[in-house]
Amino acid sequence: MLREIGFNGGVPITEEFFSKNISGQHNEDLCRVLLPDWDLPRARKFMEDKEEMFRRLAAAQLEPVKGLHKLCKWTEERGLKRAAVTSAPRSNAELLISNLGLSDFFEILVIGNECERQKPFPDPYLKALQALEVSAKHTFVFEDSVSGVKAGVAAGMPVVGMGLRNPEIFLAEAGASFVISDFDDPKLWTALEELENKEEITTVTT
């Protein structure tokens, strides 16, 4: 879509540009970052069209991250509370959760733009903690964006970085306790075993 409007002279953006300027950002902010010369209604319409395209692609191509269902089973077997906390529009989040078969897995869904402040502020995660009636001391987060990692850390929770697209160094610098490649990563299961041996935990995931 950016190429179609001549962004960057029609040259495709790089992964580095995506990670630094787009990943985890809110559409309202992207209007100013990507389309500063457009009037706001036109820029917002472009972002709405972007989300519509995403939903079409996701409906046809969405696949779970490796190890997702293994982690969900582990979580359910231990009766841990869980919430989805996302910067995505509600329609996107509900589509993904439904298509991945997670509608019954998450007890609550917190949408960033429905909070007073969005990520990287802690408000969405604090809202999830309040809704689940749990302490940040007994909770951990999975996050795949820099703004999300910062939000989880600001809310007082350890964050596991998901190195799915954003470079590990970016997630680590944002405060992730460690970064995994997927939910089968041995680093994750070693950490879960250690946690299980210490105390009861509650998961909040994104």
Residue 2 lies inside a defined structural domain of this protein:
no
Looking at the fold, whether 131 and 53 belong to one and the same domain comes out as no
Q: What is the mean pLDDT of residues 62-84?
A: 95
Residue 14 and residue 36 in one domain: yes
Residue 1 lies in a domain: no
Three-state DSSP class for 176?
Answer: coil
Mean pLDDT of 75-87: 95
What is the pLDDT, as a whole number, of residue 202? 54
What is the predicted pLDDT for the residue at 205?
59
Of 142, 120, 139, give the one whose Cα is nearest residue 131. Answer: 139
In this structure, are 91 and 25 located in the same domain?
no
pLDDT in tens, 111-142: 998 999 999 999 999 999 999 999 999 999 99
Q: How far is CA 140 from CA 17, 37, 83, 125, in A?
A: 29, 40, 11, 10
Q: What is the C-alpha separation between 13 and 183, in angstroms, rounded?
A: 28
Parent domain of 135: 68-205
Question: What does pTM read for this prediction?
Answer: 0.85
The answer to whether 163 and 171 have CB atoms below 8 angstroms apart is yes
pLDDT of residue 203: 57
Task: Report the pLDDT value the prediction gives residue 196, as an integer from 0 to 100.
Answer: 83
Residue range 1-25: mean pLDDT, rounded: 90
pLDDT confidence of residue 206:
55
